């Protein structure tokens, strides 16, 4: 029993849960017990549903040793495009969504091609594509919101299961479970860990890191598209703001959840806890009516803290290996 308790208390996820509880208690006290209301909990869950999709895509890429900084811009473009197709082109909502999804997947292919065929660094290639997507969003909308009056499409983001749980939250939970199983129970998940931990060893064992990377870039773009369309459905329109402000939220949640930038480590359970931490934190700032610029500063600081923690956790095993004495060497 003591050994089990020691493992639980020493597990990083346990520390994350403590941080989450501390954030909730802090904002509940400082807000005068207005934080944990039914409406606000629903707001937290709605925000979590969108960031969940972004963090899954970002997390899987980071585990494999890559990063995509275009996700928020891709999602915003997709939300704008689906609105334009439904409202201005008269395309049925389900066909508009499929067209938009295909476009997003093409963006994912382009990102992977820039990285693997042209040799660009992933962060440079994806920032460039993000800029392209942002420009296209403005071109489609002329900087204005496109209001969607299609009841069927709008119900996707606004309906509630049993009149309590938002449907988008159910969708996010299903996605977390499915991707969690993929990561922990399938050969593809094991390949991701091997590639992220040691790409050269992965090639020697017969794996194809480039093929898997293409799949993950396309997957990230597709999840970003779904997130953007969910937001468009919820707000009943394509907005130029879209999910651009959430561009780093998915990465922050993934890093907070224990996925290392050095690759090869991470879990969907950690991602889920990281999601709840960042959503609870951002919502608490909103409840406290913190001005948007300071809220942005606080969110950025949270990402910096996550990166610093990741750095020291990644550096610790390297330092241990350096200090370890070499076997078979005797000093005379």
Average pLDDT over residues 90-118: 96
| Mean pLDDT of the chain, nearest integer | 86
Contact 109, 220 (CB under 8 A): no
What number of other Cβ atoms are within 10 A of residue 62's Cβ?
Answer: 27
Domain for residue 287, yes or no?
A: yes
Lowest mean pLDDT segment, chosen from 11-15, 110-114, 165-169: 11-15
Answer positive or negative: Cα dihedral of 261, 251, 222, 270: positive
Q: Which domain holds residue 126?
A: 38-308
Contact 68, 61 (CB under 8 A): yes
Q: With 50 as the cut, is the pLDDT of residue 247 above it?
A: yes
Q: Indicate the pLDDT class of residue 327, thresholds 50, 70 and 90.
A: very low
Taking only the tens place, the pLDDT of each residue in 188-226 is 999 999 998 888 888 888 889 999 999 999 999 999 999
Q: With 70 as the cut, is the pLDDT of residue 15 above it?
A: yes
Report pLDDT for 76.
96
Report pLDDT for 314.
63
Lowest mean pLDDT segment, chosen from 27-31, 125-129, 135-139, 310-314: 310-314
Domain for residue 143, yes or no?
A: yes
How many domains are contained in the chain?
1
Report pLDDT for 45.
85
Residue 159 or 218, more confident: 218
Average pLDDT over residues 240-261: 86
Domain for residue 321, yes or no?
A: no
Domain for residue 180, yes or no?
A: yes
Answer positive or negative: Cα dihedral of 204, 205, 206, 211: negative
The set of residues, in sequence order, having a beta carbon less than 8 Å from that of 114 and lying 6+ positions away, is 120, 125, 128, 129
Average pLDDT over residues 10-37: 85
Domain for residue 331, yes or no?
A: no
Domain for residue 172, yes or no?
A: yes
Residue 30 or 330, more confident: 30
Contact 137, 242 (CB under 8 A): yes
Report pLDDT for 11.
59
Q: With 70 as the cut, is the pLDDT of residue 1 above it?
A: no
Lowest mean pLDDT segment, chosen from 48-52, 255-259, 299-303: 299-303
For residue 189, give the CATH number of its domain. 1.10.3470
Lowest mean pLDDT segment, chosen from 127-131, 162-166, 186-190, 265-269: 162-166
Residue 172 or 296, more confident: 172
Q: With 90 as the cut, is the pLDDT of residue 68 above it?
A: yes
Domain for residue 10, yes or no?
A: no
3-state secondary structure of 237: strand
Report pLDDT for 26.
92
Q: Indicate the pLDDT class of residue 331, thresholds 50, 70 and 90.
A: very low
Domain for residue 244, yes or no?
A: yes
């Amino acid at each position: 029993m003591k050994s089990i308790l020691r493992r639980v208390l020493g597990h990083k996820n346990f520390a994350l849960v403590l941080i989450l509880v501390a954030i909730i208690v802090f904002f509940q006290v400082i807000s005068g017990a207005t934080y944990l209301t039914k409406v606000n909990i629903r707001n937290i869950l709605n925000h979590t549903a969108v960031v969940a999709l972004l963090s899954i895509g970002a997390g899987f890429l980071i585990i494999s040793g890559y990063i995509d900084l275009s996700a928020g811009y891709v999602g915003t473009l997709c939300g704008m495009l689906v609105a334009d197709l439904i409202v201005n082109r008269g395309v049925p909502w389900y066909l508009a969504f499929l067209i938009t999804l295909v476009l997003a997947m093409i963006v994912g292919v382009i990102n992977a091609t820039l990285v693997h065929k042209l040799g660009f660094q992933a962060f440079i290639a994806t920032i460039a594509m993000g800029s392209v997507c942002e420009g296209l969003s403005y071109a489609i909308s002329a900087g204005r919101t496109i209001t969607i009056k299609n009841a069927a499409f709008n119900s996707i983001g606004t309906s509630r299961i049993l009149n309590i749980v938002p449907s988008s939250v159910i969708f996010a939970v299903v996605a977390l479970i499915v991707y969690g199983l993929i990561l922990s129970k399938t050969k593809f998940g094991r390949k991701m860990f091997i590639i992220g931990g040691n790409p050269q060893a992965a090639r020697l064992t017969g794996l194809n890191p480039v093929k898997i990377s293409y799949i993950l870039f396309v997957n990230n773009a597709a999840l970003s598209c779904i997130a953007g369309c969910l937001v468009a459905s919820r707000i009943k329109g394509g907005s130029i703001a879209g999910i651009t402000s959430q561009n780093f939220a998915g990465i922050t949640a993934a890093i907070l959840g224990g996925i290392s930038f050095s690759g090869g480590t991470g879990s969907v359970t950690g991602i889920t806890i990281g999601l709840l931490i960042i959503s609870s934190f951002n919502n608490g700032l909103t409840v406290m009516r913190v001005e948007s610029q300071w809220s942005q500063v606080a969110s950025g600081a949270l990402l910096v803290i996550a990166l610093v923690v990741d750095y020291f956790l990644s550096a610790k095993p390297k330092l241990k290996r350096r200090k370890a004495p070499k076997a078979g060497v005797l000093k005379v």
